[in-house]
Amino acid sequence: MIDIHTHLVPGLDDGSPDLKTTMEHLSRAAKVGVKRIYLTSHYFKGHYEYSREDYDRRFKEVEAELAKAGVKLELRPGFEVFAQAGIIEDIIAKSLYLGDSKYVLVESELNGLPPDFYTCVYPLLRAGLKPILAHAERYVSIMQKPSEARSLIDRNIYMQVNASSLVGLYGDKVKTTAKTLIENGWAHFVGSDNHGRTPVESYLDAHTLISSKVDQKTADMLMKDFPSRIESNLQIPYRYVEVIRPRHHRRKRRSWLKKLLRYL
């Protein structure tokens, strides 16, 4: 599996506080079957603002420690960027991408996506970047109306769902929303969003849950296949579920000639 959303660079955001915690979580992730993991620290102007050099230095420390401990896990740099006006400048100047790709993990206000959310994201799309909305199921506006996710997908924004939401760690409403997004094909990734406190096992539990409630193909697609395409910046389809209307819902159309013949 490939986890595209974690906060395991120590001391940079509200995630893992130290190298020891990071190592514990990375070792457990490798044990439950995670092969590659993106360390996506929050980047939020005015709150979590740092230089790319600072991030890289801490990232390398983790990488060296992991190699020393002999843990087989591929680490990739990444960021979870708060969508704000003008954020495109920082994204480009500091390469706030997932690895070397053009995919960018973005987040917004959980109490409801603000009216200017798309205005903040649109410059990213125009610059050829591929925004992914982090933990889509946790925004109040999407909880109230899950089809808002579909509208965003129609505007070329990918959706990421948290494994911990699926297993119920954020309560019933978030869990139901996460399930709805996946069942409708309105999710492209399942990530852990591990802040150094999340039980790593819930990531594996989410795979098992999707396999049993939807199917294993979908579980693999969201946790292996689609995340694996980020590495080479390959395109991921926005829509991958084709909804076919049952036959009896199709209106029969009779030609005007047939209609006329019926009355003759």
User: Which range binds Fe ion by CB under 5 A, 18-26, 142-150, 188-196, 205-213?
Assistant: 188-196
DSSP state of 252: P
Alpha-carbon torsion, ordered 147, 152, 158, 164, to 10 deg? -40
Question: What mask of x and - would describe binding to Fe ion in positions 226 to 245, judged by CB under 5 A?
Answer: --------------------
Whether the CB-CB separation of 231 and 99 falls below 8 Å is answered with yes
Residue with tokens 């993106």: 38
CB of 191 to Fe ion, least distance (A): 8
13 near Fe ion, rule: CB under 5 A: no
Which residue, 94 or 214, has its beta carbon nearer to Fe ion?
A: 94
Stretch that binds Fe ion, among 125-133, 143-151, 192-200, 253-261 (CB under 5 A): 192-200
Q: Which amino acid, one-letter code, is at 47?
A: H
Q: In this chain, which stretch among 80-88, 124-132, 147-155, 205-213 interacts with Fe ion, using CB under 5 A?
A: 80-88
CB of 58 to Fe ion, least distance (A): 17
Measured from the CB of residue 164, what is the shortest distance to Fe ion in angstroms?
11
Residue closer to Fe ion, measured from CB, 47 or 213 = 47
| C-beta closer to Fe ion: residue 146 or 191 | 191
Smallest separation, CB 162 to Fe ion (Å) = 8
Rounded Cα distance, 82 and 110, in Å: 11
Place of tokens 């890289």: 56
Residue 12 CB, shortest distance to Fe ion, in Å, is: 12
* Other Cβ atoms closer than 10 A to 229: 16
Residues 6+ apart with CB under 8 A from 251: none
Q: Which residues of 129-153 are buried (b: 16+ CB within 10 A; e: fewer)?
A: bbbbbbbbbbbebbbeebebbbebb
Name the residue nearer to Fe ion (CB basis): 113 or 212: 113
**Non-local CB neighbours of 23 within 8 Å, separated by 6+ positions:** 62, 65, 66, 69, 71
Closest contact distance (angstroms) between CB of 105 and Fe ion is 8
Instruction: State which residue, 50 or 214, has the beta carbon closest to Fe ion.
Output: 50
* Tally of CB atoms within 10 A around 27: 15
Q: Which residue in 80, 138, 187, 209 binds Fe ion (CB under 5 A)?
A: 80
Among 3, 13, 137, 193, binds Fe ion (CB under 5 A): 193
Q: Where does this chain bind Fe ion (CB under 5 A)?
A: 80, 193
